Structure 1
Amino acid sequence: MLLAKGTPLWILSIPLSASICSVLGIIMELSFLMIIGIILLLLFLPVIAFFRDPERPTGAGVVSPADGKVTRVVRNGGWTEISIFMNIHDVHVNRAPWRGKIVAQEHIRGSFKPAFSKDSDRNERLRTVLRTERGDWEIVQIAGAVARRIVPYVEVGDTLEKGERFGMIRFGSRVDLRFRVPRGHSITVSEGDRVKAGTSSLAR
Structure 2
Amino acid sequence: MAVSMVSTFLKPMHPEGRRFVAIAAAAAVVLWWLWTPLGWLGLGVTVWVYYFFRDPPRITPLGESLVISPADGVVSLLEPAIPPGELALGSAPLTRISIFMNVFNCHVNRLPVAGRIAVVAYTPGKFLNASLDKASVDNERNGVTVEMADGRRIGVVQIAGLVARRILCFVAPGQVLAAGERFGLIRFGSRLDVYLPEGVAPLVAIGQSMIAGETVLADLAGNTNPRLGAQR
Question: What does residue range 54-203 of structure 1 map to in structure 2 within 5 Å?
Answer: 54-60=56-62, 61-75=66-80, 79-120=94-135, 121-132=137-148, 133-180=150-197, 187-203=202-218
Q: Is the 8 A contact 2:164 2:188 kept in 1?
A: yes
What do residues 109-166 of structure 1 show as CA deviations (whole Å, max 9, x unaligned)?
Answer: 1100100124412000001111112512111100011011101111112111100010
Equivalent-residue separation in structure 2 for 1:38 and 1:189 (angstroms): 41
Provide closer, same or farther for how the CA distance between residues 87 and 21 of structure 1 changes in structure 2, counting only shifts above 3 A: closer
Q: Is the 8 A contact 2:24 2:49 kept in 1?
A: no
Decide which moves more: 186-195 or 44-53.
Answer: 186-195
- Structure 2 unmatched runs, 5+: 1-10, 82-91, 220-232
The equivalent residue for 2:50 is 48
Q: Is the 8 A contact 1:181 1:187 kept in 2?
A: no
Runs of 4+ off more than 6 Å: none
> What is the SS of the residue equivalent to 1:180?
coil
The equivalent residue for 1:3 is 13
Equivalent-residue separation in structure 2 for 1:200 and 1:130 (angstroms): 18
What do residues 74-100 of structure 1 show as CA deviations (whole Å, max 9, x unaligned)?
Answer: 357694321111111111011011101
What do residues 163-189 of structure 1 show as CA deviations (whole Å, max 9, x unaligned)?
Answer: 00100111121101112279xx85311
**Percent identity at matched positions?**
36
Q: Is the 8 A contact 1:64 1:196 kept in 2?
A: yes
Equivalent-residue separation in structure 2 for 1:4 and 1:135 (angstroms): 31
Aligned pair count reads: 194
| TM-score between both structures, scaled by the size of structure 1 | 0.84
Considering only aligned residues, what root-mean-square deviation do their CA atoms show, in Å?
2.4
| TM-score between both structures, scaled by the size of structure 2 | 0.74
> What is the SS of the residue equivalent to 1:7?
helix
Q: Is the 8 A contact 2:31 2:42 kept in 1?
A: no
Equivalent-residue separation in structure 2 for 1:15 and 1:158 (angstroms): 37
> What is the SS of the residue equivalent to 1:188?
coil
Equivalent-residue separation in structure 2 for 1:48 and 1:41 (angstroms): 11
Provide closer, same or farther for how the CA distance between residues 21 and 63 of structure 1 changes in structure 2, counting only shifts above 3 A: same
> What is the SS of the residue equivalent to 1:145?
coil
Provide closer, same or farther for how the CA distance between residues 38 and 72 of structure 1 changes in structure 2, counting only shifts above 3 A: closer
Structure scoring higher RCO (CA < 8 A, sep ≥ 6) equals 1
Equivalent-residue separation in structure 1 for 2:101 and 2:164 (angstroms): 10
Q: Larger Cα Rg: Structure 1 or Structure 2?
A: 1
- Structure 1 unmatched runs, 5+: 26-31
> What is the SS of the residue equivalent to 2:121?
strand
Provide closer, same or farther for how the CA distance between residues 20 and 71 of structure 1 changes in structure 2, counting only shifts above 3 A: closer
Decide which moves more: 74-83 or 86-95.
Answer: 74-83
Decide which moves more: 172-181 or 43-52.
Answer: 172-181
